[in-house]
Structure 1
Amino acid sequence: MSISTQDPELLPEDDAPPDLSIQYLKREDSFLTVCRCFSGITAISALLCVVANVFSAIHAFKNGNDIFGGVLRCYAIVIALFVAVAESEWQRIFQFWRILEYWAGRGMLQVFVGVMTRALSDLESGGKALVILQQLSSYMLLGCGLLYIFSGILCIGHLKRARMKKAKSREEALRDLEELEQRRKELQSLLVRRN
């Protein structure tokens, strides 16, 4: 097998490299984009639960009449923060909490935080804005959790993990392709200089 050092435009059509546009190869998977948007909405809902529970805990400790409710709200804050961090899909969390890798498990935790935020809401103290924040954040997280549970039962989480693995290998192949293209251009410029 001999390697031809001719100009690429002079190569026969069978030997010409396929014309693959890098923009075509870099196209985004729309399913993963939707999953990222939903994950962002869930993280925002969890952070709203954190804010609502922080204000409720401050109000409970300030009055001094609801110490146990304040402690429960502190637990709700920690768990809601954990839900928000889990939505980032940080692999370190999944090493210790494998159940959160599965959507049904993640959804159950979100439902728990949503119900806890709603159950601990102060209807008579804290003002109308705090009550609206508590109800909005709890119902948003509750809805996200139920959707996660339903999607987990339908194995959509498994589909997402498979597509993420495929996208990662595609990204690595694309990086290799760009490096090869760069190397090919460097070699062509060397050939032109020598001729």
Structure 2
Amino acid sequence: MKQKTSLLAAMAATAFICAGVPASAEGFISEVRLGVMDHDSSMFHDSHETSDPDINAEIRFVSPDFLAWAFAPRPLIGGTVNTGNGTSFGYAGLGWTFDLTDAFFIDLTFGGAVHDGSTKGRTATSKDYGCRAQFHESGSIGYRFDKSNALMLTVEHMSNGGLCKRNEGLTNTGIRYAYTF
């Protein structure tokens, strides 16, 4: 639990520090996101892990010019930390945001994750994820209040896609706040 508390504190400090970075044309951080997630959401399957909520933090960077051909995805790093004894993970990848209207948008991500759950069978507090490295993807529908502030309903999923012998994935649902620089 001490390790998770330290990780959670580090994520919160990083998010607050990044939120204080002034926006500029030369800036490399484009957005910071913070949220609360329903861990191992029973919306999609029977939940095995804890019902303690997750804290999610994510930093989005400005899309580099060489990714313009791929609809200009923004590189991202983030983490989802369980506040109890459930699985926590860090992730990195690419995120695409598509405007539906001036206010509504959808957001999709794809990348990889590393977790602290079990890889050698189910335990009292963890599913059997099969291997440490996983795929991570998410989808959100969001609403922008103005050019800087938005709220999103998010579903995120982590699994190894069948690359390891065992593959019990983790699906979280929740709400996140985004601040765009």
Bigger helix fraction? 1
Calculate the TM-score normalised by the size of structure 2: 0.27
Does 1 or 2 have the higher relative contact order (CA < 8 Å, sep 6+)?
A: 1
Calculate the TM-score normalised by the size of structure 1: 0.26
